[in-house]
Amino acid sequence: MSDKNTNNLIQLIKARQSVRRFKAESVDRDLIVQCVEAARLAPSAENAQPWRFIVIDDQEQKSRLAQKAFSGIYRPTRWAEKAPVLVILCAELDLLANRLGKQITGIQYYLIDCGIAGEHFILQAQELGLGTCWIGWFSQKGVKKALNIPSAWRIVSLIAAGYNAGNEGKRKIRYNTEKICYFNIVKNGK
């Protein structure tokens, strides 16, 4: 891999941040499809490809969803209703990787798989000039009810997407590499 390609990816990752204020401008569905295409290419345990994307870009449907998803203790996330697009990232669980695998290892592989796919989606959105925010604070039951999601599907997260309204805040400080990376041995558990 050339340094130029590596540099481009790092620059894209550094530029990406969570967006919670969006322009009222609608997003062309083709851009969302490109994001889903990037997510589709993610690796998954046993190639189960559990991810399913429900894209809500109709304002009335979004309002109904927001009433169910962001009420009560989830009210602080109500800002997401103003995003031009809400994506519900779900997992359709398979027998081998997601049910037996969890029983044997204790790991819910679909969460890892959907996490990778969701990050592919978000990075592709960044490259296309869209802002996103990964949302974990919402009513699972409310979303399932609002969208009639099959009982075999698990909701992993919501992703708000649209054009950034210029709300870049202070960049979050990240640990340096030396603090998080160890070669061959953990030194003093620190």
Q: What is the pLDDT along the chain (190 residues), one digit of tens a residue?
A: 455 666 899 999 998 999 999 999 999 999 999 999 999 999 998 899 999 999 999 999 999 999 999 999 999 999 999 999 999 999 998 766 666 767 777 788 899 999 999 999 999 999 999 999 999 999 999 999 999 999 889 999 999 999 999 866 667 888 999 888 889 887 765 5
- Which pLDDT score, from 0 to 100, does residue 6 have? 63
Q: Selecting from 3.30.70.100, 3.40.50.10070, 3.40.109.10, 3.40.50.1110, what CATH number does the domain 20-165 have?
A: 3.40.109.10
Integer distance in angstroms from the first to the last C-alpha of the chain? 32
DSSP character at residue 126: H
- Which pLDDT score, from 0 to 100, does residue 2 have? 53
- Which pLDDT score, from 0 to 100, does residue 65 have? 97
CA gap 132, 134 in Å, rounded: 7
- Which pLDDT score, from 0 to 100, does residue 4 have? 61
Give percent of the chain above pLDDT 90. 72
- Can you give the three-state secondary structure of 36-101, one letter per residue? HHHHHCCCCHHHCCCEEEEEECCHHHHHHHHHHHCCHHHHHHHHHHHCCEEEEEEEECCHHHHHHH
The label of the residue with tokens 């590596």 reads 6
Q: Which amino acid is at 128?
A: L
- Which pLDDT score, from 0 to 100, does residue 154 have? 94
Residue 150 in 3-state DSSP?
A: coil
Residues 6+ positions from 72 with CB-CB distance below 8 Å: 139
| Residues counted in the chain | 190
Asked if 147 and 87 count as a contact pair (C-beta separation under 8 A), the reply is: no
pTM of the model: 0.89
Express each pLDDT in 12-37 by its tens digit: 999 899 999 999 999 999 999 999 99
CA gap 122, 16 in Å, rounded: 8
DSSP character at residue 168: -
Residue spans per domain, the chain: 20-165
